[in-house]
């Protein structure tokens, strides 16, 4: 029987299928069912920078009892109800999951500025998390802010957090980086033990009747796999770090492709949220193992990176050199 085990961030995992950051980790009972179905690790839903800022403002208000700008300041922050829990409740959930589960629990911080992050990184470690994922979700909307300024701030943040904790640190990246390999290299040099490709930006929409900006969540499909698949294939073997693929993992084929590109793990959430059943985990793992048996693969490690840029006959297929070839291969339907 093929060996599905892999390693990620120094953690020994029974298979490469990991539950990515999502509401799936909000209930301990559901997380336990995911573990029973075969999930090898769980990434916690994120603790957002806005929650830490809100807590700090509320603490200042409680201490000062002033009536200056506090109400206005808080009004500029997202409603805490959007996130469901505050920082202390988040830490309690980390501890609760660690007590209830035997698989690794990875904490998640979502933010880009320095300050309270190092303190909460330590707190998440103290709560029992086996590793930490830093989700640098940032939309560069200021025309006076350069890409180099943003990247430098993020590299410094990674170094700052890494110096504050002893557990492994993964960084979840955005795909919207001009020179992604160079930025990834700088993050690894700053201390990132792993890179997660990619973060998904949820785009706002317009309500034409109410004339309001509305927020909606569109779950991924397997078609979304191609972007992280491409970049993991390019980065594999070039950086001394673990690569994780997220976005578009819905089937056993998606898991297999992620491994062949060079990922250590394939992270999924949309498929589990869409299907609503933890049995989907069992199916994906069973079909993954079945494919490996049929194609004489003895282990996951054997296939990892086998279709990366450095391993295939046509490495240019991952780059723009293949662009015209793809377009010219298109044939119009009758």
Domains, in order of start, for the chain: 6-328 (3.20.20.70)
Check: CB of residue 56 under 8 Å from CB of residue 111: no
Cis-peptide, bond into residue 198, ω within 30° of zero: yes
CB atoms within 10 A of CB 313: 5
Between 276 and 221, the higher pLDDT residue: 221
End-to-end Cα spacing for the chain = 47
Please report the DSSP string for 204-268 in residue order. Answer: PEEETTTTEEE---PPP-GGGGHHHHHHHHHHTTTSSSEEEEESS--SHHHHHHHHHHT-SEEEE
> Residue 52's pLDDT is what?
59
Q: In the Cβ-directed half-sphere of 4, how many Cα atoms lie within 13 Å?
A: 26
> Residue 75's pLDDT is what?
38
> Residue 83's pLDDT is what?
41
Which residues, at least 6 apart from 182, have a Cβ–Cβ distance to it below 8 Å? none
> Residue 63's pLDDT is what?
38
DSSP 19: E
Instruction: Give dist(CA 71, CA 61) in Å, integer.
Output: 9
For 310, the 3-state DSSP assignment is coil
Lowest mean pLDDT among 3-7, 275-279, 301-305: 275-279
Instruction: Give dist(CA 246, CA 173) in Å, integer.
Output: 10
Share of the chain above pLDDT 70, in %: 82
Query: Mean pLDDT over residues 216-225, rounded?
Result: 88
Check: CB of residue 114 under 8 Å from CB of residue 156: yes
Instruction: Give dist(CA 244, CA 108) in Å, integer.
Output: 14
Instruction: Give dist(CA 142, CA 46) in Å, integer.
Output: 25
Enter the tokens of residue 240: 């001394």
> Residue 81's pLDDT is what?
44
CB atoms within 10 A of CB 114: 12
Alpha helices in 67-207 (DSSP H): 70-75, 87-100, 116-126, 147-164, 180-190
> Residue 179's pLDDT is what?
94
Q: In the Cβ-directed half-sphere of 174, how many Cα atoms lie within 13 Å?
A: 17
Q: Tokens 């504050």 correspond to what residue?
A: 164
Instruction: Give dist(CA 102, CA 264) in Å, integer.
Output: 20
Instruction: Give dist(CA 177, CA 147) in Å, integer.
Output: 8
Cα 84 from chain centre:
20
Between 93 and 275, the higher pLDDT residue: 93
> Residue 72's pLDDT is what?
36
For 298, the 3-state DSSP assignment is coil
Instruction: Give dist(CA 192, CA 312) in Å, integer.
Output: 27
The pTM of the full predicted model, rounded to 2 decimals, is 0.86
pLDDT digits (tens, 9 = 90+) for 252-271: 999 999 999 999 999 999 99
């Amino acid at each position: 029987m093929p060996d599905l085990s892999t390693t990620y961030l120094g953690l020994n995992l029974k298979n490469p299928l990991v539950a990515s950051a999502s509401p799936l980790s909000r209930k301990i009972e559901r997380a336990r069912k995911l573990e029973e179905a075969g999930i090898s690790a769980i990434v916690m839903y994120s603790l957002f920078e806005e929650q830490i800022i809100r807590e700090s403002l509320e603490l200042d208000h409680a201490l000062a009892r002033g009536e200056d700008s506090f109400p206005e300041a808080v009004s500029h922050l997202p409603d805490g109800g959007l996130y469901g829990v505050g920082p202390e409740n988040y830490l309690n959930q980390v501890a609760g999951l660690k007590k209830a589960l035997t698989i690794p629990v990875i904490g998640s911080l979502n933010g880009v500025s320095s300050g309270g992050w190092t303190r909460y990184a330590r707190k998440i470690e103290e709560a029992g998390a086996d590793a930490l994922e830093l989700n640098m979700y940032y939309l560069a909307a200021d025309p006076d802010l350069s890409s180099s300024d943003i990247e430098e701030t993020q590299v410094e943040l990674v170094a700052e957090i890494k110096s504050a904790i002893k557990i492994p640190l993964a960084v979840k990246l955005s795909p919207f980086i001009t020179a992604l390999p160079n930025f990834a290299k700088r993050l690894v040099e700053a201390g990132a033990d792993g890179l997660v490709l990619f973060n998904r930006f949820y785009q706002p929409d317009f309500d034409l009747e109410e004339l309001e900006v509305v927020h909606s969540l569109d779950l991924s499909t397997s078609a979304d796999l191609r972007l992280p698949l491409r970049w993991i294939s390019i980065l594999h073997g070039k950086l001394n770090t673990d690569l994780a693929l997220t976005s578009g993992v819905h089937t056993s084929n998606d898991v297999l492709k992620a491994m062949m590109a060079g990922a250590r793990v394939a992270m999924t959430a949309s498929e589990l949220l869409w299907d609503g059943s933890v049995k989907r985990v069992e199916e994906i793992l069973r079909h993954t193992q079945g494919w490996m048996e049929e194609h004489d693969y003895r282990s996951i490690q054997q296939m990892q990176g086998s279709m990366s840029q450095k391993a295939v006959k046509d490495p240019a297929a991952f780059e723009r050199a293949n662009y015209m070839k793809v377009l010219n291969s298109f044939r119009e339907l009758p």
